[in-house]
Amino acid sequence: MIDIKLIREQRDLVRENIKKKFQDEKLPLVDEIYDLDVQYRNAKKDADDLRSEKNKLSDKIGSFMREGKKEEALKIKEEIGSISFKVANLEAEEEKLSKEIKEKMMQIPQIIDDSVPIGKDDSENVELERFGEPLVPQYEIPYHADICESLNGLDKEAAGRTSGNGFYFLTGDIARLHSAMLAYARDFMIDKGFTYCIPPFMIRSDVVTGVMSFKEMDAMMYKIEGEDLFLIGTSEHSMIGRFKDQIVSESELPITLTSYSPCFRKEVGAHGLEERGLYRVHQFEKEEMVVLCKPVDAMDWYNKMWEYTVEFFRSLDIPVRTLECCSGDLADLKVKSCDVEAWSPRQQKYFEVGSCSTLGEAQARRLGIRMKTSEGNKYVATLNNTVLATPRGLIAFLENNYQSDGSIKIPKVLQPYMGGKEFIVPNHKG
């Protein structure tokens, strides 16, 4: 959510930003909010003036009573009653206008950074940099589900019986590899100075609407029937919500956290679910990084954060690239975002394994997260980034470490988490 001052003082800037995001249908909201805000401030001023008048009259009552002028005091009491009635009506008007303004403000997209490329959708995202050589071996790389099955590591048929499409059983060394990658991701971020957290896996609706747009919520979140609770789609939701309505000292910033959680997503829309594979599923696990900092430091942290993800994947012998998200591909709360994509030697193209975003003060405004400074309380900036989301990260690992004999090479950094194993070898029985 943007600062209401931008609507009051820089409506053209807000309109231009909406156009850059190709959301012209929202342009009328700018003038609607402006007009409502004028009405709100007028109602508030009138109420404040009446309260001041009421206080002055109340002082007179005491004087008249001390002087024995009961009749005059009663007249003033009647006048105060009339004023109180008017104030109550104005307060009700203020509350109604405030609610209407907030509902409309929540639909206005965040002001994007000047460096964000302008484009309608993800097809116009811009490649920034490649890390590692995207090699294609002389031998064939099987589909990741086939690799897992050859290692007795995947059972989607049974998951279909227990849970339906979009779920899976991981077993044996593949399940262990999945957990090993998450454990390594955890320790990788702890070594970077981040504090490890395990958050709640369900959150209330007021936290959901604080961390994401209504459109995202409807497309992603699972609602718990009969309760004001949603299953999280990423631990960022809980982690940012942890600071709801809190005031942190400026000296405490930056707050750097890394969190583990299972994640649950509807995955509705054009992409759909994968029948055989693990790329797009309803349930996965994730190691996330979250930063709360001074707004002036946000871009420095943004660059550090995506660099950490690149470093993590390169330590697992996985080539990656960074892709700048264009204006039309940015969620409404984001100032700037880039995807980290891993190389797929099987498909001979890159695919998304993580996303890094700076949201400016948007989430902080919605959730009331502020920092105490010598100049008063101010909103913090929030950022989030994927360290590892798996099984998507597992797919990248399997393809890039697949050997010609069907085994999977385990890089040195991961071997301690795999009991010292250097390879996972397929079962050739039967």
For 110-175, the DSSP string reads PPPPTTSPP-SSGGG-EEEEEES-----SS----HHHHHHHTT-EEHHHHHHHT-TT--EE-HHHH
- Where helices occur in 22-134 by DSSP H, the ranges are 27-66, 70-105
Distance CA 203, CA 222 (A): 11
Report whether pLDDT(58) > 90.
no
Whole-number Å distance between alpha carbons of 313 and 132: 10
Q: For 83-101, write each residue's pLDDT tens digit.
A: 889 999 999 999 999 999 9
Pairing of strands 230-231, 202-203: antiparallel
For the segment 4-25, what is each residue's pLDDT rounded down to a tens digit? 999 999 999 999 999 999 999 9
* pLDDT at 73 (0 to 100): 74
Helices 11-20 & 27-66 angle (0-180, nearest 10)? 140
pLDDT at 429: 44
Instruction: Please give the single-letter amino acid code of residue 385.
Output: N
Segment 268-285 shows an average pLDDT of 75
Kindly state the tokens that stand for 325.
């998200």
User: Following DSSP, what letter does each residue of 396-409 receive, concatenated?
Assistant: HHHHHTB-TTS-EE
Residue 69 has pLDDT above 90, yes or no: no
Instruction: Give the DSSP letter of residue 225.
Output: T
pLDDT tens, residue by residue, 344-356: 999 999 999 999 9
- Give the residue with greater pLDDT, 172 vs 72: 172
pLDDT-derived band of residue 271, with 50, 70 and 90 as boundaries? low
Q: Are strands 255-264 and 283-293 parallel, antiparallel or unpaired?
A: antiparallel
Kindly state the tokens that stand for 220.
Answer: 């992603």
Q: Before 254, cis peptide (omega within 30)?
A: yes
Phi then psi dihedrals of residue 291, to 5 deg: -130, 135
pTM attached to this predicted model: 0.90
Mind listing the pLDDT tens digit for each residue in 228-248? Answer: 999 999 999 999 999 999 999
Question: Which pLDDT band, with edges at 50, 70 and 90, does 213 fall under?
Answer: confident
**Residue range 269-295: average pLDDT?**
84
**AA letter at 30:** V
Percentage of residues in the chain having pLDDT higher than 90: 84
Residue 31: how many other CB atoms lie within 10 Å: 12
Query: Is the predicted pLDDT of residue 269 greater than 70, yes or no?
Result: no
Going by the DSSP 8-state scheme, the letter that residue 280 receives in this structure is S
pLDDT for res 272: 56
Residue 143 in tokens: 């589909």
On the question of pLDDT at 310 being above 90, the answer is yes
Map out the domains of the chain with their CATH numbers.
Answer: 4-105 (1.10.287.40), 122-424 (3.30.930.10)
Q: CA 61, CA 42: separation in Å to the nearest integer?
A: 29
Q: CB under 8 Å to 382, separation ≥6 — which residues?
A: 240, 290, 291, 292, 358, 359, 362, 363, 364, 369
* Whether residue 416 has pLDDT greater than 60: yes
Can you tell me the mean pLDDT for 278-291? Answer: 94
Task: For residue range 103-136, list pLDDT tens digits in order.
Answer: 999 999 999 999 999 999 999 999 999 999 999 9
Provide the pLDDT confidence category of residue 369 given band limits of 50, 70 and 90: very high
Residue 215 phi/psi, 5° resolution?
-60, -45
d(CA 149, CA 157): 11
DSSP state letter for 249: E
Whole-angstrom distance, CA of residue 179 vs CA of residue 277: 18
Given a cut of 90, is residue 407 above it in pLDDT?
Answer: yes
pLDDT average, residue stretch 326-339: 96
**Residues whose CB is less than 8 angstroms from the CB of residue 385 and which lie 6 or more positions away in sequence, other chains included:** 288, 289, 305, 306, 308, 309, 354, 355, 356, 357
Mean pLDDT score, 143-149: 95
Predicted pLDDT at 428: 56
Residues in the chain: 430
Residue 270 confidence (pLDDT): 47
The answer to whether 318 and 133 have CB atoms below 8 angstroms apart is: no
* Residues 143, 276 contacting (CB under 8 angstroms): yes
SS3 of residue 213 by DSSP: coil
82 or 275, higher pLDDT: 82
Question: What's the pLDDT at 62?
Answer: 66
